[in-house]
Structure 1
Amino acid sequence: MTSSIPAADTRTADGATLQAVFLDLDGTLVDTEGFWWEAEAEVFAELGHVLDEAHREVVVGGPMSRSASYLIEVTGARITLAELTVLLNARFAARIARGVPLMPGARRLLTELSAHGVPTALVSASHRTVIDRMLRSLGPENFHLTLAGDELSRTKPHPDPYLTAAARLGVDPARCAVVEDTVTGVTAGEAAGCRVVAVPSVMPIPAAAGRTVVGSLEEVDLPFLRSLITERQ
C-alpha cells in the first residue's frame, strides 16, 4: 500500500476540511470480534482452561500481546506468550480462510469514500498476516494505507497507530475521522486528537464530550463524517 496519496479536497461550505478517514478492522468493518473470542476459548480449552466470559471485556479490541498476556496470567496456563500468539493467529486464520462477514453498512461506506477520493486508512491491532487475509474480502483498493498492530512498538490504546497513519498520509489528525468499535480503539483515536465515531460491537461504549456514538455503520456516510470536522471548528 502506498502512503503518498495527497489528501483529497473534502472541503465543506464553511471551509472546514475532512482530510482522511481511519477505520478499525475487527468489529468495525468485519464481524470477527466473536471469532477472536472463540479462537481464544478453543485454544485455552485445549490447554485445559475454561475462559470466563468476564475476560472477554478485557481482551476485546486489544493488541494480541496484551490480550494473550492477560489470559496467560488469569488462567495460569503453562505456555509462553510467543507460543500462544502463534496458536491464536493460526486458529483465527483458519476461521477467516473462507472470507469474513462485513458489518452492515461497511461495503457501502468504503465504496462511497473511494468514489469521492477520500484518503482512507485501515488501522488495526491485528497482525499483518491477518489483515492481508481480510483485505481479500474488503478490497485492498479501498485503502490508501493499511497499518497492522505488529508493525508498531506501541498499538492501541496508545495514539501511535493513528498518529502514524496521519503522518504517512500527510494529514492533520485534528481533521481526520476515526471509526472504532471498542473503548480501546476509541481511546487511541481520541488521544491522537482525531474526531471519533464509536460503533459499539461486543461491549457498550459510553458517550463522552467530543465523541459520537452510533448504532451501526449504516448511520455513517461522507456528509456525516464531514460534519464532525465542521462541528469542531
Structure 2
Amino acid sequence: MTSSAPAAVLWDMDGTLVDTEPFWMAAETPLVERFGGTWSHEQALGMVGLALEDSARLLQNAGVPWGVDEIIAYLTDEVLRQLSVVGVPFRPGARELLADLRANGVKTALVTMSMRRMALSVTELIDFPAFDVVVAGDDVERPKPYPDPYLQACAALGVDVADAVAIEDSPNGLRSALASGAVSLGVPLMVPLDGLGADALWPTLEGRTTADLRALHASRRETPAFPTASTTTPQETR
C-alpha cells in the first residue's frame, strides 16, 4: 500500500457516475407494452444493478419475444439516443470528484455492466480524460455481484484491490465491490443500500474531494479484519 492511498478509485456508471437509470426505465416500459405486457415501477427498480443478460431475461418473462442479445442491443441504443439529446447527466458532485482525483494523480477506472460501446460513448462525452481503464459488461465472464469486474479493473491498473475505493449505487454492485476486497462506498439513488456491509454510505458526492476518499480508505485500513478478495459466489438476491 502506498502512503497516498487510495491508489485507484473505481466507479460504477449507471446511477453512480451518471443518473441514467430513468433512461433505462424509459426504454423498458414501451418495449414491454409493445407486446401487450405491463411493466411496473417496482419491476423497473428490480433491474437496478443487474447484469444486462439477467435484465433481458426478466423482460422476456414479461412478454418480450426477442432474444437476449436483441433486447440488450435495443435497450443500449435507446439509452444512447437519450444521452445524445440531453448529454451526460452527472450525479451531484460526481464530475467534480472525478476531476479532483485526476488532478491529484489518482488512477481511475469505470466498472460498469453496461455494454462497452455505451461506456465508451459516455466517457467520450466527458470533457476531460476521465478514466485510465474501462471494464464493461461484455469484458467479463462473470458480472456483478461477482468480484471479477473490480478485480479485472485493478489488474489492468496495476494496483492491489485493497488499495482501491469502489463507488456504487446498487445492491448488486456493492456486493461485487465488497467481494473484491476494495474499500466500498455506497451512494444510493433508486434503492437503499443499508445493511449490505458498505464501508461507508454517503447521501451524495457533492462537496466531496480526494481528501475525503483518502480519509475513508485510511479509516477502513485501520480496521483489524480487513477483507481480502474472494472468488466465492456472492449472494445474488437483490
- Specify if TM > 0.5: yes
Residue 77 of structure 2: aligned partner? 90
Instruction: Please give the TM-score of this superposition, normalised by the length of structure 2.
Output: 0.87
Residue 78 of structure 1: aligned partner? 65
Label 1:70 to 1:140 Cα distance change in 2 as closer, same or farther (>3 A): farther
For residues 18-72 of structure 1, the C-alpha deviation after alignment (integer angstroms, 9 at most, x for no partner) is 1110011111111101111111112112222111222123211111101111221
TM-align CA RMSD? 1.7
Residue 188 of structure 2: aligned partner? 200
Counterparts of 2:60 and 2:169 in 1: how far apart (Å)?
25
Counterparts of 2:89 and 2:216 in 1: how far apart (Å)?
28
The Cα shift of 1:139 comes to 4.0
Q: Contact 2:36–2:63 (CA<8 Å) still a contact in 1?
A: no
Structure 2 residue 130 is matched with structure 1 residue 142: yes
The Cα shift of 1:101 comes to 1.1
Q: Contact 1:97–1:133 (CA<8 Å) still a contact in 2?
A: no
The Cα shift of 1:154 comes to 1.2
In the alignment, structure 1 segments of 5+ residues that lack a partner are 1-6
Instruction: Please give the TM-score of this superposition, normalised by the length of structure 1.
Output: 0.88
Partner amino acid for 1:110? Answer: L
Q: Contact 2:187–2:205 (CA<8 Å) still a contact in 1?
A: yes
Counterparts of 1:184 and 1:228 in 2: how far apart (Å)?
21
Residue 236 of structure 2: aligned partner? none
In the alignment, structure 2 segments of 5+ residues that lack a partner are 223-238
Label 1:155 to 1:209 Cα distance change in 2 as closer, same or farther (>3 A): closer
For residues 184-228 of structure 1, the C-alpha deviation after alignment (integer angstroms, 9 at most, x for no partner) is 110000000011110001111104545211111115321111112
- Pick the aligned partner of 2:26 from 34, 38, 43: 38
Label 1:112 to 1:150 Cα distance change in 2 as closer, same or farther (>3 A): same
The Cα shift of 1:112 comes to 0.4
Residue 4 of structure 1: aligned partner? none
Higher RCO (CA < 8 A, seq sep 6+): 1
Partner amino acid for 2:14? Answer: D
